[in-house]
Amino acid sequence: MSAIERLPEIDNGLLRFLTCGSVDDGKSTLIGRLLYDTKAILADTLHAIARTSERRGLEAVDLSLLTDGLQAEREQGITIDVTYRYFTTGRRKYIVADAPGHEQYTRNMVTAASTANLAIILIDARKGVLTQTRRHSYLAYLLGIPHIVVAINKMDLVDYDQATFERIRADYLEFAATLGIGDVSFIPLSALNGDMIVDRGERIDWYQGPTLLGMLEHAPAAHCERDERFRFPVQFVCRPQRSADLQLHDYRGFMGRVESGEIGVGDEVLILPSEKRSRVKAIEIHGRSLPRAIAEQSVTLLLEDEVDISRGDMIVRTGESTLVTRRIEAMLCWLGETPLDPQRKYLIRQTTRETRAAIEAIGYRLDINTLQRLPAERLGMNDIARASFKLAQPLCVDPYADNRSTGAFIVIDETTNNTVGAGMIL
């Protein structure tokens, strides 16, 4: 048997998840514990951390130091930007996005949530459901994260009391019902002591469910449950006319990634927005022909007819068209430090398409602490609002709730080139 075969087989793909909570909830400690207990914290990182801990006068190694990155944050002792961490178990590879909990950093949580398929929402067992818990839950819901795990942490500080856990769970469910959050799991744990993270520990025997890692190991990966209509935004057109190989002179490969659904050779397709039709002649990657391509696969499509297709066009299956529109209605999160100015034009980028856009109306601004709808004329950083846009060029869109890829867009300020907004099409 070769060494490769003896390696733990990673057969359950990749899971991206997000942790939300404030510094005080022990979020950094939780991630540190996951990394530590899955043996991904490597020896010299530990040495460096042990030295830092000594300097700060801490007695035990502080696991939260593993997730603090930038100098400024180390000085302030808080996390101010999204950090990505990686670990692997025998079954799966994980990408953890650690988003800060402070109110002023809503944009960071929205950023981290945009690529996550599961969110761990931390609650301090002594404090229960707080305003920030509601805020985090709403944002996870808004960004379409399909699975939420509510981790009730610091059980050690409430004597591992089951009644406390049940009370918080009931409070949360009541609130989740008002939002329409469906898939929620609850777990009691102590990140500090490592109870119910990777090992069960001995102090929470009244809880029969899986450990936190157990939940992560079995959570469906994003591509298992996506919208199944085929969506293929064209990124790049390959036309190697000047190649020495004469056979390539008529080659036209449409390069992109299957954002959802799947496609097979012979399938009839529709090109948007032109609405021209053709059939898939071949699916290739690096000289290899494939009979089918599935969600999240980057491939090159060749069509039977000579159709004029360029970057920004969308290939779909006949009968499964998107909405092709010059007007969109969306939930918008403003990320820019300069407030949104409804008089100005902005750029919108959706899939591989870009168009100028004007604000048509701001329906309301949402107070994300109370979920109250308030009137608004301008939007500042971290504001979330319902807004509609008029577009210079048509976009091919699906509602975000159906498709996180074709339903999402960013807003770019042309003067600074900064990404100033994130939108989810309704």
Partner 1 sequence: MSALTLQPHASLSHLDWLESESIHILREVAGQCANPVLLFSGGKDSLVLLRLAEKAFRPGRFPFPLLNIDTGHNYSEVIDFRDFRACQLNERLIVRSVEDSIRRGTVVLKSPDEPRNKHQSVTLLEAIEEFGFDCCIGGARRDEEKARAKERIFSFRDEFGQWDPKNQRSELWDLYNARVHKGENIRAFPISNWTELDVWQYIAREQIELPAIYFAHKRAVVRRGGLLQPVTELTPARAGDVVEELSVRFRTVGDITCTAPVESVADTIARIIEETAATTITERGETRLDDQTSEASMEQRKKEGYF
Task: Considering only residues 74 through 93, tell me which ones interact with partner 1, judged by CB under 8 A.
Answer: 74, 80-86, 88, 92-93
Cβ(100)–Cβ(109) below 8 Å: yes
Q: Taking the complex as a whole, how short is the minimal distance between the CB of residue 329 and partner 1, in angstroms?
A: 19
Give the residue with the Cβ less far from partner 1, 158 or 165.
165
Give the residue with the Cβ less far from partner 1, 33 or 404.
404
Residue choice 18, 176, 269, 335 for contact with partner 1 (CB under 8 A): 335
CA distance 29 to 36: 10
Q: Taking the complex as a whole, how short is the minimal distance between the CB of residue 401 and partner 1, in angstroms?
A: 15
How many other CB atoms are found less than 10 A from the CB of residue 8?
9
Residue 221 neighbours by CB under 8 Å, 6+ apart: 12, 13, 14, 15, 117
Helix, strand or coil, per DSSP, at residue 159: coil
Under rule CB under 8 A, residue 72 binds partner 1: yes
Residue choice 296, 329, 360, 402 for contact with partner 1 (CB under 8 A): 296
Going by C-alpha positions, the residue among 271, 366, 277 that lies closest to residue 312 is 271
Q: Taking the complex as a whole, how short is the minimal distance between the CB of residue 327 and partner 1, in angstroms?
A: 20
Under rule CB under 8 A, residue 260 binds partner 1: no
Binding piece for partner 1, criterion CB under 8 A, among 19-27, 69-77, 119-127, 368-376: 69-77
CA distance 247 to 69: 52
Residue choice 70, 371, 392, 401 for contact with partner 1 (CB under 8 A): 70
Give the residue with the Cβ less far from partner 1, 45 or 372.
45
Q: Taking the complex as a whole, how short is the minimal distance between the CB of residue 251 and partner 1, in angstroms?
A: 6
Sign of CA pseudo-dihedral 335, 338, 343, 344: negative
CA distance 122 to 109: 14
CA distance 267 to 278: 9
Give the residue with the Cβ less far from partner 1, 40 or 157.
40
Going residue by residue from 89 to 128, which x/- string records binding to partner 1, judged by CB under 8 A?
---xx-x-----------x--xx--xx-------------
Cβ(99)–Cβ(112) below 8 Å: yes
Counted residue by residue, the chain has a size of 426
Under rule CB under 8 A, residue 388 binds partner 1: no
Binding piece for partner 1, criterion CB under 8 A, among 72-80, 125-133, 317-325, 383-391: 72-80
Q: Which residue has the tokens 């290739």?
A: 284
Under rule CB under 8 A, residue 178 binds partner 1: no
Q: Taking the complex as a whole, how short is the minimal distance between the CB of residue 419 and partner 1, in angstroms?
A: 5
Residues 150-169 binding partner 1 (CB under 8 A) are: none
Burial (0-12, 13-18, 19+ Cβ within 10 Å), 69 = middle
